Protein backbone atom coordinates (compact mmCIF):
# COMPACT_ATOMS: atom_id res chain seq x y z
CA UNK A 1 0.00 0.00 0.00
CA UNK A 2 1.33 3.39 -0.94
CA UNK A 3 1.47 6.27 1.51
CA UNK A 4 -1.09 8.97 0.91
CA UNK A 5 0.48 12.29 0.00
CA UNK A 6 0.34 14.86 2.78
CA UNK A 7 -1.63 18.01 1.94
CA UNK A 8 0.17 21.29 1.63
CA UNK A 9 0.42 23.28 4.87
CA UNK A 10 -1.31 26.65 4.67
CA UNK A 11 0.14 29.84 6.14
CA UNK A 12 -1.58 31.12 9.31
CA UNK A 13 -3.75 34.26 9.03
CA UNK A 14 -1.89 37.56 9.19
CA UNK A 15 -4.95 39.48 10.37
CA UNK A 16 -8.25 38.60 12.05
CA UNK A 17 -11.32 40.74 11.59
CA UNK A 18 -14.47 40.67 13.71
CA UNK A 19 -17.68 41.39 11.90
CA UNK A 20 -21.05 42.36 13.31
CA UNK A 21 -23.97 41.81 11.01
CA UNK A 22 -27.75 42.05 11.12
CA UNK A 23 -30.44 39.64 9.94
CA UNK A 24 -33.37 41.79 8.89
CA UNK A 25 -36.80 41.55 7.31
CA UNK A 26 -37.63 38.35 5.50
CA UNK A 27 -34.02 37.19 5.66
CA UNK A 28 -34.55 36.49 9.35
CA UNK A 29 -35.72 33.11 8.05
CA UNK A 30 -32.19 32.16 7.03
CA UNK A 31 -30.87 29.33 9.18
CA UNK A 32 -27.33 29.36 10.47
CA UNK A 33 -26.28 26.95 7.71
CA UNK A 34 -27.92 29.16 5.07
CA UNK A 35 -26.03 32.14 6.40
CA UNK A 36 -22.66 30.43 6.42
CA UNK A 37 -23.05 29.37 2.77
CA UNK A 38 -24.13 32.88 1.75
CA UNK A 39 -21.27 34.39 3.70
CA UNK A 40 -18.62 32.18 2.12
CA UNK A 41 -19.91 33.05 -1.34
CA UNK A 42 -19.93 36.75 -0.49
CA UNK A 43 -16.32 36.51 0.71
CA UNK A 44 -15.37 34.95 -2.63
CA UNK A 45 -17.41 37.44 -4.67
CA UNK A 46 -15.87 40.32 -2.75
CA UNK A 47 -12.42 38.78 -3.39
CA UNK A 48 -11.45 39.08 0.25
CA UNK A 49 -7.98 37.43 0.52
CA UNK A 50 -8.84 34.70 3.00
CA UNK A 51 -6.45 32.49 4.91
CA UNK A 52 -7.24 28.82 4.49
CA UNK A 53 -7.13 25.90 6.87
CA UNK A 54 -4.66 23.11 6.18
CA UNK A 55 -5.91 19.70 5.17
CA UNK A 56 -7.08 17.70 2.21
CA UNK A 57 -10.02 20.05 1.76
CA UNK A 58 -8.88 23.56 2.80
CA UNK A 59 -11.61 25.85 4.11
CA UNK A 60 -11.52 29.62 4.49
CA UNK A 61 -10.90 30.54 8.11
CA UNK A 62 -14.26 31.70 9.41
CA UNK A 63 -15.52 31.31 12.98
CA UNK A 64 -19.17 31.83 13.71
CA UNK A 65 -20.36 32.71 17.19
CA UNK A 66 -23.75 32.54 18.93
CA UNK A 67 -26.16 32.47 15.97
CA UNK A 68 -29.78 33.54 16.54
CA UNK A 69 -32.44 30.87 15.88
CA UNK A 70 -34.03 30.64 12.41
CA UNK A 71 -36.94 33.09 12.23
CA UNK A 72 -35.50 35.57 14.75
CA UNK A 73 -34.30 38.92 13.50
CA UNK A 74 -31.03 40.23 14.88
CA UNK A 75 -28.99 43.41 14.99
CA UNK A 76 -26.08 41.71 16.70
CA UNK A 77 -24.65 38.58 15.07
CA UNK A 78 -20.91 38.01 15.02
CA UNK A 79 -18.34 36.25 12.88
CA UNK A 80 -14.53 36.33 12.82
CA UNK A 81 -12.45 35.84 9.66
CA UNK A 82 -8.74 35.14 9.18
CA UNK A 83 -7.03 36.97 6.28
CA UNK A 84 -3.95 36.28 4.21
CA UNK A 85 -3.23 40.03 3.89
CA UNK A 86 -3.59 43.01 6.19
CA UNK A 87 -6.55 45.11 5.08
CA UNK A 88 -8.41 48.24 6.17
CA UNK A 89 -11.57 47.00 7.97
CA UNK A 90 -13.59 49.78 6.32
CA UNK A 91 -12.68 48.42 2.87
CA UNK A 92 -13.69 44.88 3.83
CA UNK A 93 -16.93 46.24 5.25
CA UNK A 94 -17.79 48.07 2.02
CA UNK A 95 -17.05 45.11 -0.24
CA UNK A 96 -18.96 42.66 1.95
CA UNK A 97 -21.96 44.98 2.08
CA UNK A 98 -21.94 44.98 -1.69
CA UNK A 99 -21.66 41.19 -1.94
CA UNK A 100 -24.26 40.12 0.63
CA UNK A 101 -27.98 40.09 -0.19
CA UNK A 102 -30.13 42.86 1.30
CA UNK A 103 -31.29 41.77 4.70
CA UNK A 104 -27.95 40.26 5.66
CA UNK A 105 -26.31 43.57 6.45
CA UNK A 106 -22.80 44.26 7.72
CA UNK A 107 -22.98 46.68 10.67
CA UNK A 108 -19.38 46.88 11.88
CA UNK A 109 -15.92 45.48 11.10
CA UNK A 110 -12.94 45.81 13.50
CA UNK A 111 -9.50 44.26 13.84
CA UNK A 112 -9.47 41.52 16.45
CA UNK A 113 -7.33 42.33 19.49
CA UNK A 114 -6.85 38.58 19.99
CA UNK A 115 -8.52 36.22 22.40
CA UNK A 116 -11.84 34.52 22.02
CA UNK A 117 -14.81 36.34 20.53
CA UNK A 118 -17.31 33.82 21.91
CA UNK A 119 -16.07 34.44 25.45
CA UNK A 120 -17.18 38.07 25.10
CA UNK A 121 -20.71 37.05 24.18
CA UNK A 122 -22.09 36.64 27.69
CA UNK A 123 -25.67 37.78 27.24
CA UNK A 124 -28.26 38.95 24.73
CA UNK A 125 -30.81 41.72 24.77
CA UNK A 126 -34.05 40.78 23.01
CA UNK A 127 -37.23 42.50 21.90
CA UNK A 128 -40.25 40.21 21.66
CA UNK A 129 -43.15 41.85 19.81
CA UNK A 130 -46.47 40.30 20.76
CA UNK A 131 -49.98 40.80 19.41
CA UNK A 132 -51.28 40.59 23.01
CA UNK A 133 -51.98 43.92 24.86
CA UNK A 134 -49.57 44.90 27.65
CA UNK A 135 -52.36 44.80 30.25
CA UNK A 136 -52.74 41.05 29.59
CA UNK A 137 -48.99 40.37 29.56
CA UNK A 138 -48.08 42.37 32.72
CA UNK A 139 -49.50 39.94 35.33
CA UNK A 140 -47.76 37.03 33.61
CA UNK A 141 -44.43 38.87 33.69
CA UNK A 142 -44.89 39.67 37.38
CA UNK A 143 -45.68 36.03 38.18
CA UNK A 144 -42.70 34.86 36.14
CA UNK A 145 -40.27 37.21 37.89
CA UNK A 146 -41.67 36.23 41.29
CA UNK A 147 -41.02 32.55 40.67
CA UNK A 148 -37.64 31.17 41.84
CA UNK A 149 -37.57 28.80 38.88
CA UNK A 150 -39.81 28.03 35.92
CA UNK A 151 -39.57 24.60 34.31
CA UNK A 152 -40.25 24.41 30.56
CA UNK A 153 -39.92 21.72 27.89
CA UNK A 154 -38.34 21.96 24.49
CA UNK A 155 -37.78 19.42 21.75
CA UNK A 156 -34.05 19.18 21.06
CA UNK A 157 -32.03 16.88 18.84
CA UNK A 158 -31.64 14.61 21.88
CA UNK A 159 -35.39 14.49 22.50
CA UNK A 160 -37.72 16.38 24.83
CA UNK A 161 -35.77 18.22 27.51
CA UNK A 162 -37.04 19.86 30.68
CA UNK A 163 -35.07 22.73 32.18
CA UNK A 164 -35.37 25.96 34.17
CA UNK A 165 -35.78 29.11 32.04
CA UNK A 166 -36.00 31.60 34.94
CA UNK A 167 -32.38 31.52 36.08
CA UNK A 168 -30.99 32.88 32.82
CA UNK A 169 -33.34 35.89 32.81
CA UNK A 170 -31.43 39.01 33.90
CA UNK A 171 -34.37 41.33 33.31
CA UNK A 172 -37.84 41.23 31.80
CA UNK A 173 -40.36 44.02 31.34
CA UNK A 174 -43.32 44.82 29.11
CA UNK A 175 -44.33 48.02 27.29
CA UNK A 176 -47.37 49.03 25.26
CA UNK A 177 -47.01 49.17 21.46
CA UNK A 178 -49.30 50.55 18.80
CA UNK A 179 -50.55 47.01 18.20
CA UNK A 180 -49.99 44.66 21.12
CA UNK A 181 -46.95 44.91 23.34
CA UNK A 182 -43.20 44.49 23.48
CA UNK A 183 -41.25 42.39 25.96
CA UNK A 184 -37.79 43.69 26.78
CA UNK A 185 -35.62 40.75 27.83
CA UNK A 186 -31.99 40.27 28.82
CA UNK A 187 -30.85 36.64 28.80
CA UNK A 188 -27.59 35.32 30.18
CA UNK A 189 -25.89 32.75 27.91
CA UNK A 190 -25.09 29.45 29.56
CA UNK A 191 -25.93 25.80 29.84
CA UNK A 192 -28.61 24.85 29.22
CA UNK A 193 -28.95 27.58 26.65
CA UNK A 194 -32.20 29.46 27.25
CA UNK A 195 -33.80 31.04 24.18
CA UNK A 196 -36.38 33.82 24.11
CA UNK A 197 -39.09 31.40 23.00
CA UNK A 198 -38.35 29.37 26.14
CA UNK A 199 -39.22 32.47 28.17
CA UNK A 200 -42.51 32.70 26.26
CA UNK A 201 -43.16 29.06 27.16
CA UNK A 202 -42.32 30.01 30.75
CA UNK A 203 -44.89 32.84 30.72
CA UNK A 204 -47.45 30.35 29.50
CA UNK A 205 -46.41 27.86 32.19
CA UNK A 206 -46.69 30.27 35.14
CA UNK A 207 -49.71 32.32 34.07
CA UNK A 208 -51.39 30.51 31.15
CA UNK A 209 -50.52 33.43 28.84
CA UNK A 210 -51.60 32.47 25.32
CA UNK A 211 -49.85 34.53 22.65
CA UNK A 212 -51.78 33.45 19.54
CA UNK A 213 -50.01 34.78 16.45
CA UNK A 214 -46.28 34.06 16.27
CA UNK A 215 -44.34 36.91 17.94
CA UNK A 216 -41.47 38.68 16.19
CA UNK A 217 -38.21 38.13 18.04
CA UNK A 218 -35.29 40.53 17.54
CA UNK A 219 -31.89 40.35 19.17
CA UNK A 220 -30.90 43.99 19.62
CA UNK A 221 -27.57 43.42 21.38
CA UNK A 222 -25.19 40.62 22.22
CA UNK A 223 -22.00 40.96 24.21
CA UNK A 224 -20.45 41.31 27.64
CA UNK A 225 -22.93 41.61 30.54
CA UNK A 226 -22.47 44.42 33.01
CA UNK A 227 -23.57 42.64 36.19
CA UNK A 228 -24.20 45.91 38.04
CA UNK A 229 -26.45 47.61 35.48
CA UNK A 230 -27.73 44.43 33.81
CA UNK A 231 -26.87 45.95 30.45
CA UNK A 232 -25.40 44.18 27.42
CA UNK A 233 -22.33 45.88 25.93
CA UNK A 234 -20.72 45.94 22.50
CA UNK A 235 -18.09 43.18 22.19
CA UNK A 236 -16.27 44.95 19.34
CA UNK A 237 -15.79 48.21 21.28
CA UNK A 238 -15.78 47.09 24.89
CA UNK A 239 -13.56 48.89 27.34
CA UNK A 240 -12.66 45.58 28.94
Q: Which of 10, 15, 38, 192 binds other proteins (CB under 8 A)?
A: 38
Question: If DSSP codes are grouped into helix, strand and coil, which group holds residue 144?
Answer: helix
**Partners of 160 in the β-ladder:** 155
CB of 101 to other proteins, least distance (A): 5
Nearer to other proteins, 129 or 226 (CB): 129
Q: Which of 17, 18, 20, 30 binds other proteins (CB under 8 A)?
A: 30
CB of 45 to other proteins, least distance (A): 4
Interface map 65-94 toward other proteins (x if CB under 8 A): -----xx-----------------------
**Partners of 156 in the β-ladder:** 159
**Contact positions with other proteins (CB under 8 A) in 123-162:** none
Pick the closest to residue 20 from 238, 240, 235 (CA basis). 235
d(CA 160, CA 111): 41
d(CA 75, CA 196): 15
CB of 173 to other proteins, least distance (A): 24
d(CA 70, CA 197): 12
Q: Reply yes or no: is the peptide bond before residue 85 cis, omega within 30 of 0.
A: no
CB of 73 to other proteins, least distance (A): 11
Position 64 contacts other proteins (CB under 8 A): no
Q: Which of 89, 97, 103, 234 binds other proteins (CB under 8 A)?
A: 103
Position 102 contacts other proteins (CB under 8 A): yes
CB atoms within 10 A of CB 163: 18
Nearer to other proteins, 70 or 118 (CB): 70
Nearer to other proteins, 33 or 237 (CB): 33
CB of 228 to other proteins, least distance (A): 36
Provide the total of helices (H) and of strands (E) in the chain, helices listed first. Answer: 5, 12
Task: Please provide the DSSP assignment of 70-119 as one string.
Answer: TT-EEEEEEEEEEESS---HHHHHHHHHHHSPTTEEEEEEEE--SS-HHH
Give the footprint of other proteins on this chain (CB under 8 A).
1-2, 26-27, 29-31, 33-35, 37-38, 40-45, 52, 56-58, 70-71, 99, 101-103, 213-214
Amino acid sequence: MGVREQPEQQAPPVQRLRIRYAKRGRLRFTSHRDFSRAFERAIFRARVPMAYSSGFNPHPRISYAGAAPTGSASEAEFVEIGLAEVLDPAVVRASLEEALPDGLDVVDVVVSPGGSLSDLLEASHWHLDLATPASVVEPAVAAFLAAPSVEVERMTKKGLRTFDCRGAVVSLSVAERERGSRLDLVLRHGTPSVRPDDVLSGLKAVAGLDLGEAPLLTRVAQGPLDEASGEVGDPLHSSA
